[in-house]
Amino acid sequence: MENRKEIEALARGGDAASQYRLAALLEQSGQREAAREWTRKAADAGHPGALYTSACELLAEPPEKMRVDEAVGRLTRARESGGAAAMRLLAVLTALGLGVKQDWAGAVRLLGEAAETGHPGAMRELAMLAESVSGRRWAGAKLLAAAARKGDWIALAYAARRGLLSESEAAMARASLRKRGVDFISLDPLKEDRTASPDVTVAELVSAAQAAATSQWEKETLHEAPALYRIPALLSRDECDYVICASAPLLTPSLVVDPEKGAADHAQYRTSEGALISLLDLDLMLVSIYRRLALAAEIAWGNCELIGVLRYRPGQEYKPHRDYLPEDANDYSEVRRSGQRAKTLLVSLNDAYTGGATVFPELKIEHKGQTGDAFVFENTDGAGAPYPETLHAGAPVAKGEKWLLSLWCRERRFWFWA
């Protein structure tokens, strides 16, 4: 058991590690302001963890209050002191072009630095990103196994799926998925032959992840005006499960925009649980998926809202509604700033459920995708006028769980952070 008095004495004496530890203890006891003060002192003394924490606080502010340059400065100092978490966040900011020049190759290099330190999350992220971009499923095997054995629960699942773990380790993977409510994700070992050696180096994975991703997909048109189309297998099963794992800890009861209240609120006609993957929830694997979704929707990346993930359990549904937004007095929906939701993109993250189709009653179209299939539809015409016939519903799930990725795409730039 830690001696709180000793930690506090060391902290008051100027020991940065003790200052940061004291801040954590104060946070745990609900003394947030005191915790922030000790975090600030530890950051001023150059503690990488404190620098990272304080940078996250700056980036968690509302857009108009974000102190991006200061956050980047703190993360850079933390990186110089070997802070792997700071390297990962700097990688995301570099990929997005927030506070620094946008540079995908540079972002991946930063992630490689973090993986080289042995940070389990960075190791898993780089392994999965390199496999996703290159299409070489086994390229990250060695790094995934190492991240799994360091306790990264997502890496455990992927390492088990690749047959890289012992029986006891595979049992741990199943238990960790069950604990987080995603035990429907299959850990059955893959049957295909390995297409790359498990001894691929971090440098080789960085090189693979820096490559340009494909932007060509099969497109099946279902309706002309408004346009509705399907893209089979836009995301792989591995990528879909990655999104599920990333979003599962963030789920809360779903909200809808209430124009009378000028705010998002709970509504009985939307009974799912949802998560928005915010700036601080992103990693480079998710950023890579984000970019691909925008390309598939044929919308400029910066016009897209945050990625949303929905979970529908038996009996849950989203009753008939339209995705275009009211322009309320406070512009809560930001229609004046960013325009209407011109398009909606949905990706089926799983398919082992019954019911739950997306239904367009006026267009006589019903869609239920296989895992990884994308479904895109227009909400407005070329002049920005809404299509009322895009009324649609998420039918009730009868059995199993339905996981769905949603991305709304605006007419103009939505990204408030850049």
Same domain, yes or no, for 202 and 228?
Answer: no
Same domain, yes or no, for 374 and 250?
Answer: yes
Q: Point out the domain boundary residue: 68, 98, 128.
A: 98
Output the six-digit token pair for 56.
């996250």
Same domain, yes or no, for 202 and 177?
Answer: yes
- Given a contact cutoff of 8 angstroms between Cβ atoms, the answer to whether 257 and 322 are in contact is no
Same domain, yes or no, for 88 and 127?
Answer: no
Same domain, yes or no, for 234 and 298?
Answer: yes
User: Over 70: is that where the pLDDT of 198 sits?
Assistant: no
pLDDT mean over 89-93: 97
Output the six-digit token pair for 16.
């940065």
The CATH number assigned to the domain holding 225 equals 2.60.120.620
Residue 44 covered by a domain: yes
276: which DSSP letter?
Answer: E
Closest CA to 239 of 193, 192, 293, 297: 293
Identity of residue 175: A
Output the six-digit token pair for 298.
């044929």
pLDDT mean over 216-231: 95
Q: Which domain holds residue 137?
A: 120-209
pLDDT at residue 265, rounded to an integer: 47
Same domain, yes or no, for 72 and 181?
Answer: no
Structural domains counted in the chain: 3
Closest CA to 106 of 115, 116, 96: 96
Task: Kindly state the helix (H) or strand (E) to which residue 408 belongs, with its residue range.
Answer: strand 402-410
Neighbours of 281 (CB within 10 A): 16
Same domain, yes or no, for 184 and 238?
Answer: no
Residue 311 covered by a domain: yes
> Among 54-68, 94-108, 128-142, 317-331, which range has the highest average pLDDT?
94-108
Residue 109 covered by a domain: no
Same domain, yes or no, for 199 and 316?
Answer: no
pLDDT at residue 418, rounded to an integer: 63
**Interhelix angle for 48-59 vs 84-96, to 10°?**
30
E strands, 136-265, are 220-223, 228-231, 252-253, 256-258, 263-265
- Secondary structure (3-state) at 353: strand
Instruction: Write the pLDDT tens digit of every residue in 328-357.
Output: 777 778 899 899 999 999 999 999 999 999
User: Over 50: is that where the pLDDT of 232 sits?
Assistant: yes
- Given a contact cutoff of 8 angstroms between Cβ atoms, the answer to whether 128 and 285 are in contact is yes
Residue 24 covered by a domain: yes
Residue 331 covered by a domain: yes
Task: Name the phi and psi angles at 14, rounded to 5.
Answer: 100, 5
Output the six-digit token pair for 197.
């050696």
Same domain, yes or no, for 184 and 245?
Answer: no
Q: How many residues does the chain have?
A: 418
Q: Point out the domain boundary residue: 67, 98, 129.
A: 98
